[in-house]
Structure 1
Amino acid sequence: MTAIVLDDVHKRFGQARALRGISARIAAGRLTGLVGPDGAGKTTLIRLMAGLLTPDQGQLRVAGLDPVQDSEVLAESVGYMPQRFGLYEDLTVQENLHLYAELRGVAKADYRATLDRLLAFTRLEPFTDRLAGRLSGGMKQKLGLACALITSPKVLLLDEPGVGVDPVSRQDLWRMVQALTGEGMAVVWATAYLEEAEQCEEVLLMNEGRLHFSGRPEALTERLRHRCFRLASAGDKRALLAQVLARPDVRDATIQGECVRVVLAEGTTGAGAALASLGEVSAAPPRFEDAFIDLLGGGPGGHSPLADRMPAVTTRGDRVSCRHLTRRFGDFVAADDVSFTVRPGEIMGLLGPNGAGKSTTFKMLCGLLKPSSGEARVAGVDLRHGASDAKLRLGYMAQKFSLYGLLSVRQNLSFYAGVYGLRGREKRARIREMIEGFQLEPLLDSAPDQLSLGFKQRLALACALMHRPPILFLDEPTSGVDPITRREFWTHINGLVSKGVTVLVTTHFMDEAEYCDRVALMYRGRVIALDTPDALKARAGQGASMEQAFIHLIEAQAHG
């Protein structure tokens, strides 16, 4: 049974063509992924399905209704969860559900049964009296999902529900969504995360407002059979990645633990021999992400002109260290006896579920939050006595952008250059360097809020790098951005590390953890594992992915 019909749908915003003739069928009782990079048109299409926008051309039918003409009736048949779901953070979980039940016209006689069902379904019963603003990222998404399901819709539209959510919480979201499709509901899950797309029964792959593929994910993945390889070498894996990406016969490449994962261009002959001169070659199964990058023309390359301009960092000794670092908020211990060191030119990953204490630890190491006990040192400076001095030696990209919405892109760059003590000719040169390195020229007079998520992230990283810091702290730097933009970021990060820059990074994106030299896994404020990505994967069993390792180690700790 067809739940949604799209027939030659077009949508413009001024001169920008957001959708260019989208035609597709979305089945009831199935999970359909709406996949594409930043600016592909995913959110525009979902808002059309929800009746919040009107198409300029073409027709839609959702649950048998016209979203424009039948907008009032449609609200009962469609649940919609936007990217920034409208939870009221000063209301409790229970109060949010009551409010949405009132807004959606749920009969008072049905309140108790409806809310009890949704609380049980989302496993939020123990948290009904907690303020929404105090929920973890994963629990906020579950509450948002419960609010979207308040009328038992026939169609559920989810716009990037996995953004900022850790793998364990994402697993819970998948469990809930698969239960809904089993009951006959049509679920559309918009995402730029390709691991999520791979779990969908059908995918619509979009780019620049056009539909490039419609079908089962494995049908697209199969096109790359015999083109994917692992390349192992005893040398520097980041240098090997840059070397591989410079080859004309390579479509894409990423770091995977101590190996480099390579996707060769279509029609490449003697594939294994072509790479054998660089190291030991073995075949790898293709992934949906490989097919996605290949379909869009390949990855962005492995050379960072930004890193070319960065002088080599020569400081010796541990760049970042913490010993018995603890932070309490009343009776709650957010970070509990955390100890580790980060060596010069190393990428250290700080991983953990939402609420594990990663951002609290980060803020203490940046001098933004005073520890309750313990010691933190950055660039040899004890943060208890020299936090201001340490801040000038590090670049910090916050999880929620520290950009100023009332200033233009140009003014944000100028402001941050001044904050870091740059003046005159040097200041102008650094700003120009960032504009060119992150392709910001066309956007200089725009406000940050007008930028796509990918360009917001570029601007935030540019501001953090303005003073050429020897230490870089990145708190979920690519949350929500598409795979191509993530590759651009890691090209810059790898290039900076090759110059001796030390990086501490948090991420919920397990493919990014593969780029790290070591990973510290946190749970309930404590470091429960500290090792290389390959060693952590080995603890979860032969052939385990980084995501499987994360879930295995967290669940073992939770149930141990």
Structure 2
Amino acid sequence: MSKPVMEVEALSKSFRLPGRTVRALQDINLQVAAGVVTGLIGPDGAGKTTLMRLAAGLLLPDNGTIRVLGQDVASESLAVQSQIGYMPQRFGLYEDLSVQENLDLYADLQNVPPANRRERYDELLNMTGLGKFTRRLAGQLSGGMKQKLGLACTLVRSPRLLLLDEPTVGVDPLSRRELWSIVYRLVEQEGMSVLLSTAYLDEAERCAEVILLHQGEVVGHDRPAAFSEPLRGRSVRVRQADILPRRLQARLAKLPDVFDATVQGQAVRLVMQHAEPPKLDADDLSGAYCEAVSPRFEDGFIDLLRDSGSLQRVLRPVPHEVTPGDAISVSGLTRRFGDFVAVRDVSFAVAAGEVFGLLGANGAGKTTTLRMLCGLLPVSGGEVSVAGVDLRRAPAAARARIGYMSQKFSLYGNLTVQQNLEFFSRAYGLRGARRRERMAWALDDLDLEGFVGAASGDLPLGYKQRLALACALMHEPDILFLDEPTSGVDPLARREFWSHINALADAGVAVLVTTHFMEEAEYCDRLAIMAEGELLALGTPAEVKVRSLGSAGSDASMEAAFIALIEDGEAA
């Protein structure tokens, strides 16, 4: 057998933050096999990025050793760095440089001889599909194209070991599929070894081996199938006619012996504590029926981590008075940037208490649409009504009725959790006892009490998300806009987040959400799918699947339906 490309022995690493010490890794031992893709997964704050940075020689361990390609990283970091490639979560592209200029810069930094560059460039540009865009500025690329350019820059010198820290976060399913195709080609054609961290458990399931970290410790290390096999006989799918799947999921999650419930198409997938079917004898479950299904990797992941403390709190929103008419009404919405039309003649409506999903490939116009609906971008054409207010005539009155959670963490990183909550409550006009009441609600319902004095920029990603949601909800808005709110967070945090969204919708809040996680699209009551600024499809998840895949596609995955729609749109 080939010698491991990475060997970790008794490795520990801690970080000192104001008022506390965070143990990122605690006495871990593991080996990474050569010539395959090894997945690195775990909840937020598990230590994945720390392990990657230690392997790349960017951090020194407190204790223990880490050997990469047979060399001690702590004492031979330059030698190791000359043989590996490392693509961090936020790869440093120079957005004012073109695609070709970024490649040239990274070739200079990695001392690639000029005579070797042209052949390598041609190979990388062909592999990533960027050959037609060499003169385009990196800042003008879509999210998926930026990720592919970042990967190409990492690979200008062919490494023996490639470290990829969540390379597919924030990119659409089509770009995700293309990135994985590139990774597999590198392994098969160049014999490269890959260690890849990911928030997508379906991606982890494709890996030869998976390392599961939790609270700085190795919880599991095996083939993906080995994680799911112990749950055989404990996974079932439940269907019930004439009920929204997300509402059925909320009911089933409360049943005894159910420890995980997720929406899967028109059904709800359950994982039971024991190999016994759920008891569906409650009045509100009359007509429901279940069938056994095979376990999947995600079931094993949740089973190992279900005692981690996630999902302990349930959001308690105040019920909203539902007024007649649509909460959001859009007709012929258009947005131009000079000669470029980012959104073209888009029309849809969202009712109070509805969860409406806005999907599309990177650059499709989703965020531009969302920002117009929030009053953050002027509308070039069309009619927009938000909370019964004409957005083009009274944007301030409309903004007072909405909450907005942006794609990137946009709170004040140098302010504490307490200070951010105070700032946003004052910005929304809350005073005195009302402000104190809402701040207490945010700290309790979103489980932020333990971080009151922590700088928000130092929070784990899942807690940043909770804080951003708390700030968006301080004034109890009638409408909530969420722009890729779960991008990069782990499956446990995503489950918690969607329990909050369901509670808000059931209280009468209209929710419009953009997402690249296609399984999250199943939680939406209706969907709109965009491409190149135009609407491709509008309807319930089941209707969208039938439109893209035919009548046999009603039980297919939303990802398959999404890719089919986008590819059909490109071919038209």
Post-superposition shift, 1:239?
3.9
Q: Distance in 2 between matches of 1:422 and 1:11?
A: 42
The superposition leaves residues 383-422 of structure 1 with CA deviations (integer Å, 9 ceiling, x where unpaired) of: 1101100001111111122212332221211111111111
Instruction: Indicate the residue corresponding to 1:438 in structure 2.
Output: 446
Instruction: Indicate the residue corresponding to 1:391 in structure 2.
Output: 399
**Greater Cα shift, 30-39 or 84-93:** 84-93
Q: Distance in 2 between matches of 1:22 and 1:547?
A: 36
- Which amino acid in 1 is paired with 2:12? H
Q: Structure 1 pair 56/548, CA: closer, same or farther in 2 (3 Å)?
A: same
Check whether the contact 2:245–2:523 (CA below 8 A) recurs between aligned residues: no
Matched, 1:28 2:50: no
For residues 125-524 of structure 1, the aligned pairs below 5 Å read: 125-182=131-188, 183-233=190-240, 234-265=242-273, 267-269=274-276, 271=277, 274-275=279-280, 278=285, 279-297=288-306, 305-307=314-316, 309-524=317-532
TM-score, normalized by length of structure 2? 0.94
**Greater Cα shift, 529-538 or 414-423:** 529-538
Q: Structure 1 pair 88/302, CA: closer, same or farther in 2 (3 Å)?
A: closer
The superposition leaves residues 187-239 of structure 1 with CA deviations (integer Å, 9 ceiling, x where unpaired) of: 11101221211111211111111111111111212222221111122345444
Post-superposition shift, 1:465?
0.4
Q: Structure 1 pair 299/406, CA: closer, same or farther in 2 (3 Å)?
A: closer
Instruction: Indicate the residue corresponding to 1:52 in structure 2.
Output: 58
Q: CA RMSD of the aligned region, Å?
A: 1.7
- Which amino acid in 2 is paired with 1:227? R
- Which amino acid in 1 is paired with 2:414? L
Q: Structure 1 pair 412/445, CA: closer, same or farther in 2 (3 Å)?
A: same
Q: Structure 1 pair 438/92, CA: closer, same or farther in 2 (3 Å)?
A: same
- Which amino acid in 1 is paired with 2:198? T
**Greater Cα shift, 153-162 or 96-105:** 96-105
Check whether the contact 2:265–2:557 (CA below 8 A) recurs between aligned residues: no
- Secondary structure (helix, strand or coil) at the match of 1:226 reads coil
- Which amino acid in 2 is paired with 1:262? L
Q: Distance in 2 between matches of 1:148 and 1:37?
A: 26
Post-superposition shift, 1:304?
6.0
Q: Distance in 1 between matches of 2:155 and 2:82?
A: 10
Q: Distance in 1 between matches of 2:308 and 2:214?
A: 14
Q: Distance in 1 between matches of 2:223 and 2:264?
A: 26
**Greater Cα shift, 369-378 or 229-238:** 229-238
Q: Structure 1 pair 335/299, CA: closer, same or farther in 2 (3 Å)?
A: farther
Q: Distance in 2 between matches of 1:184 and 1:154?
A: 8
Q: Distance in 2 between matches of 1:473 and 1:399?
A: 10
Post-superposition shift, 1:553?
1.1
- Secondary structure (helix, strand or coil) at the match of 2:45 reads coil
Identity %: 55
Q: Distance in 2 between matches of 1:108 and 1:416?
A: 53
Check whether the contact 2:169–2:199 (CA below 8 A) recurs between aligned residues: no
Q: Distance in 2 between matches of 1:106 and 1:236?
A: 57
Gaps of 5+ in 2: none
Q: Distance in 2 between matches of 1:444 and 1:431?
A: 11
Matched, 1:107 2:113: yes
Post-superposition shift, 1:300?
6.8
Instruction: Indicate the residue corresponding to 2:84 in structure 1.
Output: 78
Q: Structure 1 pair 202/147, CA: closer, same or farther in 2 (3 Å)?
A: same
- Which amino acid in 2 is paired with 1:553? L
Instruction: Indicate the residue corresponding to 1:550 in structure 2.
Output: 562
- Which amino acid in 1 is paired with 2:562? F
Q: Structure 1 pair 301/213, CA: closer, same or farther in 2 (3 Å)?
A: closer
The superposition leaves residues 75-102 of structure 1 with CA deviations (integer Å, 9 ceiling, x where unpaired) of: 2210000011111111111111111111
Check whether the contact 1:228–1:286 (CA below 8 A) recurs between aligned residues: yes
Check whether the contact 2:405–2:469 (CA below 8 A) recurs between aligned residues: yes
Post-superposition shift, 1:51?
1.1
- Which amino acid in 1 is paired with 2:269? R
Check whether the contact 1:92–1:129 (CA below 8 A) recurs between aligned residues: yes
Q: Distance in 1 between matches of 2:72 and 2:383?
A: 62
Check whether the contact 1:303–1:495 (CA below 8 A) recurs between aligned residues: no
- Which amino acid in 2 is paired with 1:242? A
Q: Moved runs in structure 1, 4+ residues, more than 4 A? A: 298-305
Q: Distance in 2 between matches of 1:46 and 1:322?
A: 45
Q: Distance in 2 between matches of 1:250 and 1:473?
A: 31
- Which amino acid in 1 is paired with 2:532? R
1:8 to 5, 10, 31: 10
Gaps of 5+ in 1: none
Q: Structure 1 pair 298/342, CA: closer, same or farther in 2 (3 Å)?
A: farther
Q: Structure 1 pair 103/302, CA: closer, same or farther in 2 (3 Å)?
A: closer
Number of residue pairs matched?
Answer: 556
Check whether the contact 1:326–1:371 (CA below 8 A) recurs between aligned residues: yes
Matched, 1:67 2:78: no
Post-superposition shift, 1:482?
0.6
**Greater Cα shift, 491-500 or 278-287:** 278-287
